[in-house]
Amino acid sequence: MSAAPPRIPVALVTGASRGLGRALAVELARRGHHVLAVARTTGGLEDLDDAIRALGGQATLAPMDVTNPEAMGQLAQAIAGRWGALDVWVHAAVHAAPLSPAGHVDAKDFDRSVAVNLRATAGLIPLLEPLLRAGGGTALFLDDPRAGQKFFGAYGSTKAAQVALARTWQAETARIGPRVVIATPAPMATATRARFFPGEDRSGLADPAEEARRILAAL
């Protein structure tokens, strides 16, 4: 009687269509994971799928908004039904509001920052915790310590709140799992950074693909 084929590890990447999220999705596929890629931009997801297929990898595309609780609930149910567990969750979804003085933060941008950077994270953790625990999995968060810096009020405060929530979850699950890791990437040549620092000399910035390899190697 032949042995059952080994189970392919499953990695969920929220915010997978661009920047470091995309690079991490490609690197996870290179390392043999089936990548479940979530993002709002269908075109970005299709480009990611092409890159993963070029490596001989496997991906499932989920064009969804992480701020939609019903969609995220359906996503968790679909993961449970198809795979039963998660090996990795990379949370790279972020809203990078335009820089502005604290006294002039646009209300819609601030609300969107709270919705994406904090509320969506708070909603995903209870949905994905059982799946990660079932797979002995790891959740990876990406820090970007901008809190308190000039003009970073909306982004810096909500990103800091996201990381604070992740650190709380990390402390609570240290003994029982899932494993929670918070990485701080080096400054990278991404479109988001270009919006924050237009005209910056990008020659000294890290390549997102190299950062993805470094971060995952540390896991």
CATH code at 114? 3.40.50.720
State pLDDT tens for residues 13-56. Answer: 999 999 999 999 999 999 999 999 999 999 999 999 999 999 99
- Determine, yes or no, domain membership for 4: no
Candidate from 1-15, 85-99, 174-188 with smallest mean pLDDT: 1-15
Query: Is 146 inside a domain boundary?
Result: yes
Closest to 63 measured CA to CA, from 125, 24, 14, 29: 14
Strand partners, 39: 63
Cα separation, 101 vs 153, in Å, equals: 7
Q: Tell me whether residue 5 is in a domain.
A: no
Asked if the structure places residue 138 within a domain, the reply is yes
Contacts of 4 (CB under 8 A, 6+ apart): none
* Lookup result for tokens 């950077």: 117
∠ CA 140-13-160, rounded to 5°: 45
Please give the tally of structural domains in the chain: 1
φ, ψ at 120 (rounded to 5°):
-65, -40
What range does the domain containing 147 cover? Answer: 10-218
Inter-helix orientation angle 120-134/69-82, to 10° = 10
Q: What is the mean pLDDT of the chain?
A: 96
- Do the domain assignments include residue 83? yes
Q: What is the pLDDT of residues 157-186, one digit of tens each?
A: 999 999 999 999 999 999 999 999 999 999
Is 58 a member of any domain? yes
